[in-house]
Amino acid sequence: MRRPVVAAVVALFLIPAALAHGLGGDVDGGGPYVPPAETVEIDTRGGENPCDNAKAEWRPSQRVEGVDVAASLECTPDDPRAVAAFVKGTNRMPQQLLDDIGLHEDAVVKDDDLDGDGDPDIIRITLEVIELNGWHLVDDALQEPYEIAPGIAPTFWVFAPKTTIHHSGPFFELARMPTPPIRVEVGDQVFLTVENTHYLPHTIHLHGTDHPFQDAEGNGNDGVPVVSEMPILPGDARTYELKPRVAGSFFYHCHVQVQVHVGMGLGALFIIEENRPDNWLQTLNPGAGPVRHPSVASRERYDREYDMLYQDIDKELTAIPKTSNDARVISERIHRDYDATDAASDYFLLNGRSFPYTLRESTVVVSPNETVLLRVQNVGGSEVALHTHGHKGEVINIDGVPVQFPQIQDIYPLTAARRLDVVLNTTDDGFHSYGQGLWLTHDHHEVAVTTDGINPGGDITLIAYEDYLDPISALPKPLGGTFNLYFNPAYYRGEIPVFQMSGLDFLGQAGDPNAANASNTANASPASARTALPDESQRVTSAVPAPALMLVLSVIAGAALAAQRRQPR
Amino acid sequence: MIPSPRHGPSRAWLPAILLTLLVVGAATASAAKVSNENREQLPPGCDAIAGEASAIVDAGRAYAEPFPGAVFSFSNRSFEWPACTRVTITLQNHDHIRHQFMVHDAFPEGFFQLEADSLDNVTGTFITGAFAKTMLAHCGIPQHQQMGMKAQVLVAGGIGTLPNILGISGLPAVDRGEVASPPTTNGPPQEQAAAPGLSVLTLLGGVAVLALLRHRMHG
């Protein structure tokens, strides 16, 4: 009888206390009013010019050394001289032009019209293996880091067209992420040479591309270490041979230690075009994106063509080569210490860049009533759920194979290594297109629209109708503000409140609570504001209640235990 | 003529294309390149060429073999020449890739460079300056300098030794991680871990109280 009575008494005390908490807390529990910290306006100066227009003359359609190069309305379009060299063949270009752009005369050599249809059929491509943003002395910092976004320069390994003379300036137009898409024609006799300029072994595997297991001399030709060959050692070279019989969008990548080598950047599209008369192809497309000299078949069917390579990056992986100048140490750390099964993606790239840099060179520029071919590839290890705002595209080929019943969809799923040929129809019919505008295009795994967790970033780009481009910079003209804030390293260091640009002061940067009554603290620099961030000090204090509670509970439990033990039995 | 994206050329041009191919191809057959060669122009302070010198620089993976962890190197990594001397260098490449020997701060263009393709040789000339200085020489292909292809040119005795030259100099303390490096501008900052002190102390206190109580119970 006594126990229910005790319980009722306890409940009488507890229930009002619980209600008091639910209705706003304990009376007098809040103490005196303390004015909150002032909102600090972060100084966003120090950002970059979104487009310096230094390459504006490269945008219009033009003829270079007899090669017509289509217009490219990007802030930083491909160099028309390089496009012409990749079409005509570096063996047919003036040496001075090649030297000016840093392209080696062996990069793409085109010979012999074997089938008499007006275009060369012996294609010799030479690639080097280049490390971007590698180890260097602290006092000898990189003068021109290859940045994927403002202030972010991971280390990459790429297959790059054979360059010459320069190791800065023009060099970075050619040796950059991603590894360049390759185009050859059905029936071409292709000699793909890798000159291993890197300090680790590599190979090339022609994934999905018609190629023999052994070359004409009986050497392994599949690029798989041990199975078909020894890897190509530093300082050595090897030539892979193929004479493809089937057209399609395929893949080439290093097959040495693939769990890290592909993730470091060594892979890209390998496209076999249909054999047509007078079919002079843009054999390499460094930086991917717009194809400024499409094939004959492409020109017959489409108004424009874009290469779009998606890749996710683990920053823990790409940080390793910077840690040593000892090749043994790097090899140990990247091949043994690094556990790819624990990998997590931090950066999401489209054509080797993340937003906002994608706006400079990988905008999908269109006009109404066009058909546009997108050759999309997932080079990374995570699935991509590519989504086109305002458009439903038609997937006509999967992994280079025509689809029997083409699907029209607005999500284009790409598993690892997958290639999709997607046709956009920009006819404003409420189905294929909803009309002109700036239509976001991105991986719908939402993490992929961030750069190391900061949004907007990742692989965001736009399907941009020409009327929505700035006539001076060729950058898209947004309606809801400006992209300028994002061209700032401080933004991607997380130092700028994401809504500050929108004038939403109430969501601005909270200042130091201890300086709440101090005079004007506005216009703090991002760095100084970060040192005063209240949430960091709170992070420490917020960790206190749980252990403190544990302490109290421990004392109570201990005391109860002791009291119980002392009772006479 | 190359077909345009919209209008292809007539096939009548084909013989001309092939002929052009042969002519231009022959003209660009040599892959050896010399940038900013200077045989005559005197650097400031030089009244005349004081003398002639020459060197053969062998380049390749084999020259890094005595140095574990290095991958590419030169046969010689420190050169010393008097002031106002006309220096002729031959770069002999023993690898199947290209290598460079680039001398920084060379008169008059700011650098002098030799580039030799696979198993190729190339020779070029520059003139040393009038005053003592130490010049960087290296292969400009990314990471070749860092992996061993770094050398120095001491003019009139030089003004010191550059770091990280195989067999000659080591890494500065900051690159060995022995002193703090200046903040980098590349990449996001390292995440700051919350200070654990108070939380850990509180937990330890709780454990200590429990232990004390148990001790008193059994005592």
SS3 content of chain B, % helix, strand, coil (to 5): 20, 25, 55
Q: What is the pLDDT of residues A331-368, one digit of tens each?
A: 999 999 999 999 999 999 999 999 999 999 999 999 99
Yes or no: is domain B30-155 CATH 2.60.120.10?
Answer: no
In this prediction, residue A8 carries a pLDDT of 58
pLDDT higher for B88 or A508?
B88
Instruction: Tell me the chain A residues in contact with residue B118 when contact means C-beta distances shorter than 8 Å.
Output: 195, 237
In this prediction, residue A214 carries a pLDDT of 97
With contact defined as beta carbons under 8 Å apart, do B123 and B148 qualify? no
A-interface mutation test, from B97, B103, B209, most A Cβ less than 10 A away: B97
pLDDT surpasses 60 at A565? no
State how far residue B50 is from chain A, nearest Cα, in angstroms: 30
Q: B144–A70: do the CB atoms touch at under 8 Å?
A: no
Placement of tokens 């077909």 in the chain: B3
Instruction: Tell me the chain A residues in contact with residue B196 when contact means C-beta distances shorter than 8 Å.
Output: 543
Q: How confident is the model at residue B177 (pLDDT cuts 50, 70, 90)?
A: confident
Q: How confident is the model at residue A499 (pLDDT cuts 50, 70, 90)?
A: confident
Nearest to A347 by CA among A160, A171, A178, A96: A178
Q: Indicate if ipTM > 0.90.
A: no
Every domain of chain B and the residues it spans: 30-155
Of A248-257, A296-305, A528-537, B40-49, the least confident: A528-537
In this prediction, residue A46 carries a pLDDT of 81
Query: According to CATH, what is the number of the domain A106-338?
Result: 2.60.40.420
Rg (CA), chain B: 30
CA-based nearest residue in chain A for residue B209: A555
In this prediction, residue A26 carries a pLDDT of 83
In this prediction, residue B31 carries a pLDDT of 61
Which residues contact residue A261 at a Cβ distance below 8 angstroms, ignoring those fewer than 6 apart?
Answer: A157, A202, A253, A254, A255
In DSSP terms, B33 is beta-bridged to B115
Q: What is the pLDDT of residues A432-481, one digit of tens each?
A: 999 999 999 999 999 999 999 999 999 999 999 999 999 999 999 999 98
Query: Which SS3 state, helix, strand or coil, does residue B12 take?
Result: helix
In this prediction, residue A502 carries a pLDDT of 74
CA-based nearest residue in chain B for residue A305: B5
**Separation between Cα atoms, residue A256 and residue A254, nearest integer Å:** 6
With contact defined as beta carbons under 8 Å apart, do A166 and A187 qualify? no
Rounded alpha-carbon distances, angstroms, from residue A96 to A7, A99, A170, B118:
96, 5, 13, 21
Every domain of chain A and the residues it spans: 106-338, 358-481, 534-569
Placement of tokens 């939380």 in the chain: B199
Q: How confident is the model at residue B28 (pLDDT cuts 50, 70, 90)?
A: very low
Distance of CA B37 to the CA centre of its chain: 20
Q: B24–A92: do the CB atoms touch at under 8 Å?
A: yes
Q: B203–A551: do the CB atoms touch at under 8 Å?
A: yes
Query: According to CATH, what is the number of the domain A358-481?
Result: 2.60.40.420
Which residues contact residue B50 at a Cβ distance below 8 angstroms, ignoring those fewer than 6 apart?
Answer: B82, B83, B84, B85
In this prediction, residue B15 carries a pLDDT of 43
Residue in B6, B146, B198 nearest the CB of A135? B146
Nearest to A313 by CA among A381, A221, A415: A381
Instruction: Determine whether B188 is exposed, middle or buried from the number of CB atoms within 10 Å of its CB (0-12, 13-18, 19+).
Output: middle
Greatest Cα pair distance in chain B: 110
Of A107-116, A494-503, A548-557, B38-47, the least confident: A548-557
Residue in B96, B118, B188 nearest the CB of A152? B188
